[in-house]
Chains A and B, each alone.
Chain A
Amino acid sequence: MGTENFSLDELQQWMQGMLIYHVPVESNFGTNAGAPVEDIVNASQRLSAVSHLDIYRYSYIARLRSCMQSQFSALTYALGNELFQLFADQYLDTYPSESYSLNTLGQHFSSFLEETRPDKEAKESWPDFMIELAGFEYTLSVIFDEYAIDTNTAATIDTPDNMLVLHPVFHLLSHRFPICNYYLEFSQGKEPELPFPEESYCAVIRLNYKLGLFSIRAAQYFFLKRMQETHSFEKAKTMLINEKGIPQTEFDRVWPEWKMNFIASGFFIEQPGT
């Protein structure tokens, strides 16, 4: 192909291919894109045409790899730098960014890890943990930037139960591994070990634009989930009693403690307009 007649579009396609798809470059040989680098890029006093192009190629993968490590810091620790980099590089090859925002760079990473899990023949549990952890970390970044104004009247212990409303940035997550505890330990500078499978539940709240993570029990998760769906304390309570077979007396016994902890953690605001 005569590169002197490359259209603007062909030139950009060529260069992008060199960056994103890692087309092999060998000096003076035609590339997969059909054109020798020397026919397109000028050499300078100090660098060959290929070396000039390599600056962009190296920076592309190094910059995006670094962004992936920032977005998945706990996963990087869990996998180790080398293995994380391997997965991240493959991911970036498979799912090059389609967004102007780097915040969405890792959007498909969890599903990519599922698609490419190395134990397809005989399933092991550690890939499940890594996949969940990746999904969890991406979810946190989405919640961190969620549209909402964090200026609501926090509920107090004196707020009547039927006036309790969940905070506008409040999310409930369930996992097959103790993901939240693992993440919290990592965030605190500890060195958590790979956990065994264990069903876990967690609440994520954004207060004053900071995230709070709370491990909660299965019954609490069920109750709060129903509150989220029905926007009603009474309905959530009834569903917990009826569907989980918890006696009314037992609920009445634990509720004051739950309420105190939920309010201390900022889960509830007062019903607007009260």
Chain B
Amino acid sequence: MPSVSNYRQQIANMTNPGLGLGLRSKHFNYILEHNPPVNWFEAISENFMDSGGRPHYVLRQVAEKYPVVLHGVSLSIGSTDALNKEYLSKLKQLAAEVNPLWVSDHLCWTGVNSLNAHDLLPVVLNEVSLKHICDRIKEVQDYMERPMVFENPSTYLTFKQSTIAEYDFLRYMVEETGCGLLLDVNNVYVSGFNNDFDPVHYIRQLPYESIVQMHLAGHQHCGTHIIDTHDRQVAQDVWNLFALAWELTGGVATLLEWDGNIPDFETCHEELLKAKQYMNHNFQAAPITVQQEYEEEAVSNPVNFLVNEIRL
């Protein structure tokens, strides 16, 4: 069984495949027909692991032509429920089929008592939960026989019981388990606004050497808070943070997520390619801009949480 140092070495050896897009059913036909010049795709594991039909067929086709990453939303690494062995078994099977560059999920929990809220719920950040989560990460990694990669979620609350900053929590996770990190730059911005922390400071504290991937996405500003909607272009403040993160990490795999009001493939691709403008951009600390137009009634859409779109 690989050791923590072995996992750490595997994370260190992960190469940067370039700029990627989230694989969404709306774009299946376009991708299969046009083979667009995207460096890689990220597939939501749960949208494919139980599929014996079209989604599964499309993923296999895509994986034959492009590097693929599996990104999960249901591992529930922070839950006090036992790990779901059936889920892990299917995830491992899917990974064996598509040979992903890496397998990722979120620092979150999705439910207890065998229920699932289908949300990325915030974990309490203290020593008890850190040990609990690290033990589970080790168990998952040993079962999967590969290091896992964990993403910082967008959060809408913090707990009184939390005693560790999220960036330190992530660092301790990395040190204890050898796992990798997926830095969602938009999530840092969203969580920072919602929970009164400085996103620039947050990003500067992360263990850059363990970051293998970044996420970019759009959000919705509601005035008093920001919702991670993934339904629009990336905000300028987030691009600025991306420039900083790119500088600090030395450049890692970067992916755009677009999960609501999904435009055509070309529009998503254009948005992704904007990232090039912010690489080697020399981050200049600028005050976070205050958005003037606010919207209400936003629903968080942390990932592509959708039921199958039946095709007749």
Contact = CB atoms under 8 A, between A and B. Distances in A.
Contacts of B156: 52, 55-56
A99 B311 contact: no
Nearest to B298: A59
B117 A141 contact: no
A145 B160 contact: no
Nearest to B28: A209
Interface string B270-312: 0000000000000000000000000000011100011111111
Contacts of A103: 50, 307-308
A103 B156 CA distance: 26
Interface in A159-216: 187, 206, 209-213
A87 interface: no
A212 B76 CA distance: 37
A59 to B, nearest CB: 5
B188 to A, nearest CB: 16
A41 B160 contact: yes
Interface in A129-159: 140-141, 144-148, 150
A71 B307 CA distance: 7
B96 interface: no
A74 B111 CA distance: 30
Contacts of B110: 100
A66 B76 CA distance: 22
A55 B299 CA distance: 8
B225 A46 contact: yes
B132 A59 contact: no
B116 A98 contact: yes
B79 interface: yes
Contact of A141 (B80, B118, B194, B310): B310
A209 B160 CA distance: 50
Contacts of A58: 299
B2 interface: no
A141 B307 contact: yes
Most chain A CB within 10 A, of B51, B53, B57, B305, is at: B53
Contacts of A53: 157
Most chain A CB within 10 A, of B55, B300, B308, is at: B308
Size class of B's contact patch? 35 or more
Q: Main SS of the interface on chain B?
A: loop
Contacts of B114: 98
A42 B160 contact: yes
A144 B308 contact: yes
Contact of A16 (B117, B161, B308): B117
A145 B308 CA distance: 8
A1 to B, nearest CB: 14
Interface in A230-255: none
Contact of B299 (A45, A62, A99, A213): A62
Nearest to A184: B312
Contacts of A124: none
Interface in A43-76: 44-47, 49, 51-53, 55-56, 58-60, 62-64, 66-67, 70-71
Contacts of B74: 100-101
A218 interface: no
Interface stretch (A6-14, A78-86, A114-122, A256-264): A6-14
A140 to B, nearest CB: 6
Contact of A20 (B117, B160, B196, B305): B117
A15 interface: yes
A209 B118 contact: no
A96 interface: yes
Interface stretch (B121-129, B167-175, B247-255): B121-129
A190 B306 CA distance: 25
A3 interface: yes
Interface in B181-240: 194-196, 224-225, 227
Contacts of A16: 111-113, 115, 117, 121
A47 B74 CA distance: 29
A70 B80 contact: no
A211 B311 contact: yes
Contacts of A44: 194-196
B187 to A, nearest CB: 14
B7 interface: no
Contacts of A11: 124, 159, 161
Contacts of B310: 140-141, 144, 211
A102 interface: yes
Given A67-B306, A100-B87, A141-B308, A20 B119 contact: no
29 contacts: A6-B161, A7-B128, A8-B80, A8-B132, A11-B159, A19-B119, A39-B160, A41-B157, A41-B160, A42-B160, A44-B195, A52-B194, A55-B227, A59-B119, A59-B227, A59-B300, A63-B119, A97-B115, A97-B118, A99-B116, A100-B46, A102-B118, A102-B307, A140-B310, A146-B52, A148-B53, A187-B312, A210-B311, A211-B312
Interface of B: 46, 50-57, 74, 76, 79-80, 84, 87, 109-119, 121, 124, 128-129, 132, 156-161, 194-196, 224-225, 227, 299-301, 305-312
